[in-house]
């Protein structure tokens, strides 16, 4: 039977983390404060190492891949969940990515990943050829997977092509749940670039910004799909997703205990009632990754690729 959560993850330790102008074209959560590159990298490294240590202290196995600049700089390598999806049985899917300067990450890290996790057999599915057609599907950033109930949730955007999303679902036996989600940016409604910005899924609960789904029919459809599988819905506001309230991930630690990882910024913006729903079934841990969030536009969920091995 498929599992929703795992106790093994992959994280990439950065070497040249900084504001990526190319991804900022449609990631409106990125902000360049103008600090020197070496200062930003140093601060990000401290945040990364502290987060890894916290996860390991809870019994979560973290496979850390060290970035380098041998091929080229990859400023967003700290977000590996965009270039591959892991499923049980040694299955890995390589994903097509919007930013040209992110595509090197697959070349850099795939061999190291396979070596690190010690897979004797890898069933590799490669979707990267769709980049030539400007069709993208950025892994578990673009899709939030209900692995147990075989549903995939996806807010469609430049980085989440509907045709390719439905192809992924057909190939991997997921029911596609496609919709559109928006944020207010410069006084207009702009598409949210990744589903995991506005939605996170645990075994017992779903965190989602329902008000970002402007179409009432689509909103009702998503609620129906979640409630059908017994998920307790935690409806967060757009202001809360500005603090990455949809960017959680639930993992398994020592003795099968569940931990929900969210950033400190998220923890601070959730209400006591919202946190209490999560804490019914999962202990919250909240590392501080403020620099990574500010310059990278992603949070703790984006920094973690689950490994189902």
* pLDDT tens digits along 244-300: 999 999 999 999 999 999 999 999 999 999 999 999 999 999 999 999 999 999 999
- Distance, in Å, from the CA atom of 193 to the CA atom of 180, rounded to the nearest integer, reads 10
* Residue 2 within any structural domain of the chain: no
CATH number at residue 238: 3.75.10.10
Domain that holds residue 73: 8-306
* Residue 84 within any structural domain of the chain: yes
Q: Does residue 244 contact residue 288 with C-beta atoms inside 8 Å?
A: no
Cβ-based neighbours of 134, under 8 Å, separated by 6 or more: none
Q: pLDDT, tens digit, for every residue of 116-158?
A: 888 777 889 999 999 999 999 999 999 999 999 999 999 999 9
- Residue 291: what pLDDT? 97
Q: Please provide the average confidence, as pLDDT, over all residues in the chain.
A: 95
* Residue 3 within any structural domain of the chain: no
DSSP structural state of residue 273: H
- Residue 246: what pLDDT? 94
Chain-centre distance of CA 33, in angstroms?
Answer: 24
* Residue 1 within any structural domain of the chain: no
- Distance, in Å, from the CA atom of 84 to the CA atom of 108, rounded to the nearest integer, reads 13
pLDDT at 22 over 90: no
Q: pLDDT, tens digit, for every residue of 32-59?
A: 999 999 999 999 999 999 999 999 999 9
- Residue 51: what pLDDT? 98
* Residue 246 within any structural domain of the chain: yes
Number of domains in the chain: 1
- Residue 25: what pLDDT? 80
- Residue 29: what pLDDT? 87
- Distance, in Å, from the CA atom of 51 to the CA atom of 181, rounded to the nearest integer, reads 29
Question: 57 vs 54, 101, 172, CA distance in Å?
Answer: 5, 34, 33
| H or E element that contains 240 | helix 238-241
pTM of the model: 0.95
As given in the structure block, the two tokens for residue 186 are 């410069």
């Amino acid at each position: 039977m498929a599992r929703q959560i795992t106790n093994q993850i992959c994280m990439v330790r950065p070497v040249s983390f900084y504001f990526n102008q190319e991804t900022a074209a449609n990631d409106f959560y990125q902000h360049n404060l103008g600090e020197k590159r070496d200062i930003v990298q140093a601060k990000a490294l401290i945040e990364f190492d502290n987060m890894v240590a916290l996860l390991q202290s809870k019994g979560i196995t973290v496979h850390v891949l060290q970035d380098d600049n041998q091929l080229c700089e990859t400023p967003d390598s700290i977000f590996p969940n965009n270039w591959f999806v892991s499923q049980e049985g040694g299955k890995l899917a390589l994903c097509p990515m919007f930013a040209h300067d992110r595509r090197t990450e697959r070349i850099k890290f795939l061999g190291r990943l396979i070596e690190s996790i010690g897979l004797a057999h890898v069933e590799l599915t490669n979707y990267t050829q769709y980049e030539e057609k400007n069709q993208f599907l950025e892994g578990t950033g673009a899709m939030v997977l209900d692995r147990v109930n075989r549903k995939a949730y996806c807010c469609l955007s430049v980085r989440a092509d509907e045709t390719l999303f439905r192809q992924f679902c057909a190939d991997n036996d997921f029911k596609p749940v496609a919709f559109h989600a928006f944020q207010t940016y410069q006084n207009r409604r702009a598409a949210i670039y990744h589903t995991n910005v506005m939605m996170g899924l645990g075994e017992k609960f779903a965190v989602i910004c329902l008000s970002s789904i402007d179409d009432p029919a689509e909103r009702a459809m998503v609620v129906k799909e979640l409630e059908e599988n017994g998920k307790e819905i935690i409806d967060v506001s757009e202001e809360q997703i500005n603090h990455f309230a949809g960017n959680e991930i639930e993992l398994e630690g020592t003795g099968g205990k569940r931990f929900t990882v969210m950033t400190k910024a998220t923890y601070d913006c959730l209400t006591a009632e919202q946190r209490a729903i999560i804490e019914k079934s999962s202990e919250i841990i909240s590392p501080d990754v403020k620099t990574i969030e500010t310059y990278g536009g992603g949070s703790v969920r984006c920094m973690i690729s689950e490994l189902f091995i």
